Amino acid sequence: MKLLNPRGFGLVCASAAVAAGLVLAGCANTVEGTATVDQAQVTAYKAEVASSSAAASSSKAAADIAKATADNCDPFRKNTGTAVDRYNEFVDAHDASAADQNAKRDAAATALEDAAKAIETQVSASGPALPADLAGKFTDYVTAARALAAEIRKMSAGSSVAPLNDASKKVNDALTAVRNACPTK
Amino acid (1-letter code) at residue 114? D
| Mean pLDDT (whole number) for 76-105 | 93
pLDDT at residue 81, rounded to an integer: 92
For 17-27, what is each residue's pLDDT tens digit? 777 766 666 66
Per cent of the chain over pLDDT 90 is 53
pLDDT at residue 162, rounded to an integer: 93
Question: Which ranges of 29-131 would DSSP assign to H, the alpha helix?
Answer: 39-95, 101-126
Among 18, 158, 140, smallest CA distance to 102 is for 158
For 131-153, what is each residue's pLDDT tens digit? 999 999 999 999 999 999 999 99
Residues 114 and 122 sit within 8 Å (Cβ to Cβ): no
Chain-centroid distance, C-alpha 129: 5
| Mean pLDDT (whole number) for 16-42 | 70
Q: What is the mean pLDDT of the chain?
A: 85
| Mean pLDDT (whole number) for 86-96 | 94
